[in-house]
Structure 1
Amino acid sequence: MNSIPSPPEQVWAVLGATGFIGSALEKALHDAGITVRCLKAPRLSARSTDAAGILAEAEGLTTERAALAQALSGAGVLINAAGLATPSDGDSAELRGANALLPVLVAGAADDAGVRRFIHLSSASVQGHRPFLDESTYTQPFSAYSRSKALGELTLAARTPGPCSVVAIRATSVQGAARKTTASLVRIAASPLASVAGRGDAPSPVSSVDALTSFVLAVGRHQGEVPPIILQPWEGATVSSVLRAAGGRSPLRLPSWLCRGTLKAGYAVSSLLGERLHGPLRRVEMMWFGQRQEPGWAEATGNVPAPRVEQVLRGARSAHA
């Protein structure tokens, strides 16, 4: 006997389901009773470094687009959790292919397949050293990785809109017990290197994978319009509370002027080395100063997930004890 297919709204496709965030999304969707279709993302290389060039390259990928559209048939929501998360690596055609060319190719395939909503996981790093994060189109990328993610957003905005609703979620500094960066954070937080600038009460965009998956689920289920760019909501953490949860100890307080001077010198040296140190320096900058987040779509529509970041960090600390 043939099984009855699930309605499109109960079928969600996930690209990159084997990665850290993708696997967490797959589990969250299963737990919510949603039929999950895991798709393998094609490996792409992009020669272009601007949106017009990326769009032109995507137009030539007719075979890949048709294959994706066929795989998406009958799905109501598509999540792109694929891409290259390499904050410390340099620019490459593979990086641009994964983070800029792939999203626009997938958006076209979603149009062809009749998918209702395409959720592309972008990164808040596209706004770089800006004092605050928001949902504007303003970007200030500072590394090859953040430039590739910003290019992905720009290219999605430049494409001719289709019937599928396309939204890019700017994920913040997502943590989870299974993530290497979280293990690194736990080690630093438990060491004498754990420190903050000034009083240590600056808001931190460090977040939990649990809250991100809940937010993605809310965005996918939302029946109204969603802006093309939305920001993962703040979980209420400060630079001090993050280090206390991850390390079990209060961080050292350093003079703000000393922290700013150290970072300025560090970025200058890193620039001479081809931005090789930009990734680690950015992590230190976030540990010391954090970054404020402006309320956005989530707050306006009541779609703010329950904060879990401190619980996740305490769990990671126990797991790596």
Structure 2
Amino acid sequence: MEWIVLGASGFVGSAVVAELRSRGIAVREVAAPRFHSDASSPEQVLAEASLSDGAAAARKLMARAFAGAQVVVNAAGLATPGDAGSPALTGANALLPVVAAMAAADAGVPRMVHLSSAAVQGHRAELDESADRTPFSGYSRSKALGEESLALLAASTEGVAPTETVVLRATSVQGPQRPTTAALARLAASPLASVAAPGTAATPVSSINALAWFTAETGLFAGAVPGIVLQPWEGMTVSAVLEAAGGKRPLVLPRWLTRATVSAGYALSTVAGGRLHGAVRRVELMWFGQSQRPGWAELAGLRPQPSVQQVLQQARQARA
């Protein structure tokens, strides 16, 4: 058993590599090519992946690097939730996954696990494993375009026995050394730390440990895996997250006040051309959380050991 990890030096990729090697699995770390793309539809992404000289050259190089592997994990991409959108985002989060899937098929790799984001479902009250996507930011739109392009690629190669491509939607992944986790710890320790009453809403805040474990289990699974799987919930509520990260109980605000504030924030962002949507969404998640519908992982018995509370506590202690 030998695996390829694209983006192995990044936050998620390095954790996946460590998890695999702890299981005795051989890992080849492959540097991901950098693409820039102006594509705005899955059809344009596939056309660029098939016809552009840069994509064709990268596809050949990756196919050679993938030869003999059983699983490819694409952990590469740009994780910039506040970005308004750019050719670099589209290239990294939409074009690269398609070129990597094509290269995996060229090399005869049985399965590719593509790390996507639950952000593609935007403001939904409940995350699930459906193809329903409602992105709300440049980052989430680039991730959604990557998913749509991979789905179109799979449909266009029907009957050709392509590589089985699994889109794994990571939730709000935290790690002790991650800047976004450090920012969460600062917020949780501040007077701004608050939740909408009663403060018991489920939240998709999760740990890098659980994501790396679930990625490995998805790649190793002996049977067929659905085209989209969601990282399992680790059991946290909005209040529990802030208390673990900040060391104190958050303020509980009236629900009508928080809902009115969020609505006003989105209205102001719309006037500003959507530039504030990411910030407003982060506040909305802090107050209201977002639930998850149990999916394939629960049916397959693949529930990671919850460790997000420990990760948040480590981030809090790092501030001390």
The CA deviation at 1:264 is 1.3
Take 2:177 and 2:21, find their aligned partners in 1: how far apart are those partners?
A: 19
Are the aligned partners of 1:194 and 1:243 in contact in 2 as well (CA < 8 Å)?
A: yes
d(CA) in 1 for partners of 2:34 and 2:271? Answer: 31
Cα shift readout 1:154-196 (whole Å, capped 9, x = no counterpart): 0100112443110000100000001000000001111111100
Alpha-carbon distance in structure 2 between the residues aligned to 1:43 and 1:302: 37
SS at 2:5 equivalent: strand
Distance 2:277 2:185 in 1: 21
Task: State how far apart, in whole Å, the 1-side matches of 2:99 and 2:42 are.
Answer: 13
- CA distance in 2 between counterparts of 1:264 and 1:28 reads 41
**Alignment partner, residue 114 of structure 1:** 108
Partner of 2:265: 266
TM-score, normalized by length of structure 1? 0.95
Distance, in Å, in 1 between the alignment partners of 2:118 and 2:62 is 27
Matched, 1:39 2:30: yes
**Number of equivalences:** 312
Aligned-pair CA distance for 1:311: 1.2
CA shift for structure 1 position 271? 2.3
Pick from 15, 19, 22 the counterpart of residue 28 of structure 1. Answer: 19
1:261-292 residue CA offsets vs partner (Å, 9 max, x unmatched): 11111122222323222222211111100001
Partner AA of 1:33 in structure 2 = G
Is 2:58 the counterpart of 1:64?
Answer: yes
Q: Of 143, 164, 174, which residue of structure 1 is paired with 2:137?
A: 143
CA contact under 8 A between 1:20 and 1:178: conserved in structure 2?
Answer: no
Q: Any idea what SS the aligned residue of 2:72 has?
A: strand
Counterpart of 1:80?
74
Task: Please provide the CA RMSD for this pair.
Answer: 1.0
Letter in 2 for 1:32: R
Q: Are 1:101 and 2:92 an aligned pair?
A: no
Instruction: Please give the alpha-carbon distance, in whole angstroms, between the structure 1 residues aligned to 2:308 and 2:6.
Output: 25
* Same amino acid, percent of matched pairs: 58
Between the aligned partners of 2:288 and 2:216, the Cα distance in structure 1 is: 30
2:147 pairs with 1:158? no
TM-score of the two chains, using structure 2 as the length reference? 0.96
Counterpart for residue 4 of structure 1: none
Match of 1:195 in 2: 194
2:3 is aligned, of 2, 12, 15, to: 12
* Superposed displacement of residue 90, structure 1: 1.3
Shift of residue 320 of structure 1? 1.9
Structure 1: 5+ residue runs without aligned partners? 1-9
